[in-house]
Chains A and B, each alone.
Chain A
């Protein structure tokens, strides 16, 4: 991102109005609702997602909030490019990842080192990321093209911070939606995270028509 655009973005992020935050919460809500439905169909189990939290914070704060106190877990990251660009990530502790895949009868008793378990987690991350972004795409009339999903099994701090820093494209203040999942009445320790790219974020605000009097050219 160019310096001038970055300055303007950071100024807008820190000056977010309450109406804008409400509108952004609604965006997160639409995305996570669609993602919950897709995951429920895939697992054949009841899936609940909490109302998404919309946070505007520094990269460092986002990273700390999603690091699970230095624990180890898995992450599935899908990057979106085009008019609806950003980073989506499903993060889960090891126990919760196993809890999730145990919903598939064919994977019962298999551990996190099993390649089919990796593949199943990748596909779960892929399907909920794509359904989240598809819902936003319909709502905002913008298109996002997904990358193939990437799987990582490491310290949360290492992979979450790396993904967020990559997606932030040089800005320090970021907008992050996070949602927690409950599958078959059991809460999973982890999050579904969506961080729109700075330019997409500005586009979302424009699309929502909550930028009255602010004519950013991004």
Chain B
């Protein structure tokens, strides 16, 4: 059975691109969320195997969402996807419990590799 993924990004266009990429790589995108608040709620509802999480979003940013999801499920597997590759942002994400960090724009093989590794 293919692994179930929740895609979180405030840009509908990026959610569409990432969902398309993941589906073509053999994963099942079970849901999408446009901010951290919706992401936490959908994580509880859908119980996905993995979450791809943007950082800069309205309402609640990705770092806060990772913390809340990990507080609810310490085994949650999350890969951050952000346009900001600054070292402090990467460190914040990893310290909050993310497994990996991908800088936008996406390189499809890099996304597939990060997601597969986080699911292993």
Contact = CB atoms under 8 A, between A and B. Distances in A.
Interface of A: 38-39, 41-42, 106, 115-116, 119-120, 122-123, 126-127, 129-131, 133-134, 137-138, 143-149
A129 B82 CA distance: 12
Interface residues of B, number: 21
Given A127-B104, A148-B58, A115 B86 contact: no
| Most chain B CB atoms below 10 A, which of A106, A116, A147, A148 | A148
Nearest 4 interchain pairs by C-beta: A130-B83, A42-B105, A119-B13, A120-B13
Contacts of A144: 86
A170 B16 CA distance: 40
B76 interface: no
Contacts of B105: 38-39, 41-42, 127
A163 B17 CA distance: 29
B85 interface: yes
30 contacts: A38-B83, A38-B104, A39-B105, A41-B105, A42-B105, A115-B12, A116-B12, A116-B13, A119-B14, A120-B13, A122-B11, A122-B13, A126-B11, A129-B83, A130-B82, A130-B85, A130-B104, A131-B83, A133-B84, A134-B84, A134-B103, A137-B86, A143-B86, A143-B88, A144-B86, A145-B56, A146-B83, A147-B56, A148-B10, A148-B56
Contacts of A122: 11, 13
Contacts of A120: 13
Contacts of A126: 11, 56, 83
A123 B13 contact: yes
Interface of B: 10-14, 16, 56-58, 82-89, 103-105, 107
Contacts of B11: 119, 122-123, 126, 149
Contacts of B16: 106, 116
Contacts of B85: 130-131, 134
Given A134-B84, A148-B56, 4 more contacts: A38-B105, A116-B16, A126-B83, A130-B104
B13 A130 contact: no
Contact of A134 (B14, B58, B86, B107): B86
A19 B103 CA distance: 34
Nearest to B105: A42
Contacts of A41: 105, 107
Contacts of A147: 56
A18 B83 CA distance: 33
A41 B107 CA distance: 8
B84 to A, nearest CB: 5
B84 A130 contact: yes
A133 B82 CA distance: 13
A145 B12 CA distance: 21
Nearest to A122: B11
Contacts of B57: 148
B72 to A, nearest CB: 24
A64 B115 CA distance: 47
